Amino acid sequence: MSESPQKESSEPRNARLWEALVPVVFLVVFLSYYIIELKGENPHLPLIGGTIIAGAMAWRLGHKWGSIQDGIIEGIMISMQAILILMLIGMLISTWIASGIVPAMIYYGLELLSPTYFFFAACIICAVVSLATGSSWTTAGTVGVALIGISDGLGLPLPITAGAIISGAYFGDKMSPLSDSTNLAAAVGNAELFEHIRHMIYTTLPALIIALILYLTIGLNLSSGQAEQADVLMILDTLEENFTLHWLLLTPVLLVVLIVYLRIAAIPALLGGILLGCLIAMTIQNVSFGRILEIAHSGYSGQTEVQSVDDLLNRGGLQSMMWTVSLIICALSFGGVMEKSGMLKVIALTVLKKAHTTGSLVATTVATCIGANVVAADQYLALILPGRMYQSAYADAGLAPKNLSRVLEDSGTLTSPLIPWNTCGATMIATLGVMPWVYVPYCFLNLITPLISIIYGFTGITMAKAKGSST
């Protein structure tokens, strides 16, 4: 009798907690050593190293290479729209600089905005634009770029400016019915969209008010580091000498806001903005067609003989986003393996077992969303995974679906730009040119909102009960 052959394709087993944690611990240690000890600024290799360890652990659990590869590809595919938008934003920035749109925004901003109220105004401006467009990325890539330039011209600290821009941009992104993350959180949490938005006011509005008070206080107490009036005048004169400036150059910004408000998809809207920038550059600024193509690809590069102005304007272009694109691909490869192998789910379900009260359930959801932003490196995954996992837990606790959808946004959406290798964090780095470990302490809205959400969970404030629930 011949021995029965062993099955070659046995089902992979579920990971134990320690096995699921090995890739995460390795990634955290590798990243910490690389950034703190080696002073590295490119976390690509630690993320690739983490992906290798995650892949090895998945193989140990019985997953074949084909399945692991599918996880990597599926993880990357989630971000393809974001990558396309990011590439277009790079082209938008460079063409809008060449066309004089960004220089005009900086010019009039320097004339109008006071250093004392700048951070306060920057947050409000970005909140309004993002609320109208539903896009934090578009806001940062247009108004945000100009505000960074104005801040630099006024001699104000860029990390605080970036924090104010991100706080305002993500307030609008979170509260706008046009936002994809807002619609996604409502859908995942099984909540009605406008009921979800109204419920978020309880956490987000107090956080915005606190953030604005803090930005105003910082501005009022900022006694040093401001540029001399002579420096500001020099920047204004240099911009006038090198660009044809007119207030009509501000209309493309309003047109892009209007296009997005009319629910036209982001990619066609950004393409329209790029074409408009190219047209203005060639007709008003007398830039040749060949030169504008070079600028769209490689970024704007001008020599004004004033270094501060060159530092403001020499940026953008398709190629400027390739560092960020590669970072996103590396990060989502790691997240894809963790998701496909079920290791991410094991970690989340283990944490959920500790949640026995409404407060601990909310705190667990917040922690899971933040962890998903770190490990899966994508805002959408940070909404979808915890939303799917905790939906029944909120129902069992007698809580209305809008509580879950709100917590998902309070933590999943708002902490995403604070993680350097997350798609949102990488985009903010590429767009604003400020690293997150310096701007994170000043993203007041993003830091305060999850804390308010946890406080509400433990106190029961605004934690709506499900219809017919007696819990």
Cα(149)–Cα(417) distance, rounded to whole angstroms? 20
Q: What is the pLDDT of residue 261?
A: 67
Domain contains 164: no
CA distances from 427 to 137, 145, 349, 443 (A): 7, 12, 30, 15
- Model confidence at 68, in pLDDT bands (50, 70, 90)? very high
Q: Give the C-alpha separation, 47 to 65, whole Å.
A: 19
Predicted local distance difference test score (pLDDT) of residue 336: 87
Tell me the sheet residues that pair with 327. none
The answer to whether the CB of 177 falls within 8 A of the CB of 134 is: yes
Among residues of the chain, what percentage have pLDDT more than 90? 40
Question: How does pLDDT run across 360-404, given as a tens digit for each residue?
Answer: 999 999 998 998 888 877 788 788 878 877 888 898 889 999 999
In this structure, are residues 257 and 132 in contact, taking their beta carbons and an 8 Å threshold? yes
Average pLDDT over residues 53-82: 89
Q: Where residue 118 falls among pLDDT bands split at 50, 70, 90?
A: very high
Produce one character per residue of 77-109: b if its CB has 16 or more CB atoms within 10 Å, e if not: ebbeebbebbbbbbbbbbbbbbbbbbbbbbbbb
For residue 260, the model assigns a pLDDT of 64
- Least confident piece of the model among 122-131, 310-319, 410-419: 310-319
Q: Is the predicted pLDDT of residue 69 greater than 90, yes or no?
A: yes
Q: What is the pLDDT of residues 14-23, one digit of tens each?
A: 899 999 999 9
Comparing C-alpha atoms, which of 444, 378, 454 is closest to residue 184?
Answer: 378
Element (H, E) at 202: helix 193-220
Find how far residue 163's CA is from the centre of its chain. Answer: 12
Confidence of residue 2 (pLDDT cuts 50, 70, 90): very low
Reported pTM: 0.78
* CA nearest to 431, candidates 115, 96, 196, 27: 96
Instruction: With a cut of 60, say whether residue 227 has pLDDT above it.
Output: no
pLDDT of residue 423: 85
**DSSP secondary structure string, 52-65?**
HHHHHHHHHTT--H
**What's the pLDDT score for residue 226?**
56
Residue 147 has pLDDT above 80, yes or no: yes
Average pLDDT, integer, range 84-91: 86
Average pLDDT, the chain: 86
Q: If you ran DSSP here, which 8-state letter would residue 38 be given?
A: S
Q: Tokens representing 261?
A: 């408000």
Lookup result for tokens 């107490």: 221
pLDDT at position 199: 94
> What mean pLDDT do residues 16-41 have?
85
| Per-residue model confidence (pLDDT) at position 1 | 43
Residue 374 lies in a domain: yes
Give dist(CA 183, CA 365) in Å, integer. Answer: 19
Backbone angles phi, psi at 3, to 5 degrees: -70, 140
pLDDT of residue 450: 97
Across the range 224-232, mean pLDDT stands at 62
- Domain membership of residue 211 (yes or no) is no
Judged by DSSP in three states, 465 sits in: strand
Nearest Cα to Cα of residue 389 among 341, 346, 337, 332: 346
Residue 40 has pLDDT above 70, yes or no: yes
Domain count, the chain: 1
pLDDT tens-digit profile of 402-440? 999 999 999 999 999 999 888 899 889 888 988 878 999
Contact 195, 183 (CB under 8 A): no
Q: What digits encode the pLDDT tens for the residues 322-355? A: 987 888 788 888 888 988 898 988 887 787 777 7
Low-confidence winner among 19-23, 30-34, 67-71, 199-203 (lowest mean pLDDT): 30-34
Residue 432 lies in a domain: yes
Q: Is the pLDDT of residue 6 over 70?
A: no
pLDDT in tens, 388-397: 778 888 988 8
Say if residue 133's pLDDT is above 80: no
CA-based nearest residue to 162, from 444, 452, 449: 444
Answer whether residue 180 is part of any domain: no
Domain of residue 377 covers 17-35+44-57+68-78+322-459
pLDDT band for 5, please (50, 70, 90 cuts): very low
Task: Provide the pLDDT for residue 89.
Answer: 84
Please report which confidence band the pLDDT of residue 3 belongs to, taking 50, 70 and 90 as the band edges.
Answer: very low
Query: Who contacts 287 (Cβ-Cβ below 8 Å, separation ≥6)?
Result: 98, 99, 281, 295
Radius of gyration of the chain (CA): 24
More confident residue, 259 or 50: 50
Contacts of 420 (CB under 8 A, 6+ apart): 43, 327, 426, 429, 435, 436, 437
Does residue 381 belong to any structural domain of this protein?
Answer: yes
**pLDDT of 194 above 70:** yes
Q: Of all residues in the chain, what percent are helix, strand and coil, respectively (each to 5)?
A: 75, 0, 25
Q: Is residue 338 part of a domain?
A: yes
What's the DSSP call for residue 399?
B
Q: pLDDT band for 263, please (50, 70, 90 cuts).
A: low
- Are the CB atoms for 412 and 184 separated by under 8 Å? no
Q: Does the pLDDT at position 7 exceed 80? A: no
Tell whether 326 is covered by a domain: yes
What pLDDT score was predicted for residue 223?
56
Kindly report which listed range (163-172, 204-213, 259-268, 391-400) carries the lowest average pLDDT score.
259-268
**Cα–Cα distances in Å, from 285 out to 187, 231, 442?**
46, 25, 37
**What sign has the CA pseudo-torsion 390, 393, 397, 402?**
positive
Q: Is the distance from CB of 137 to CB of 94 less than 8 angstroms? A: no
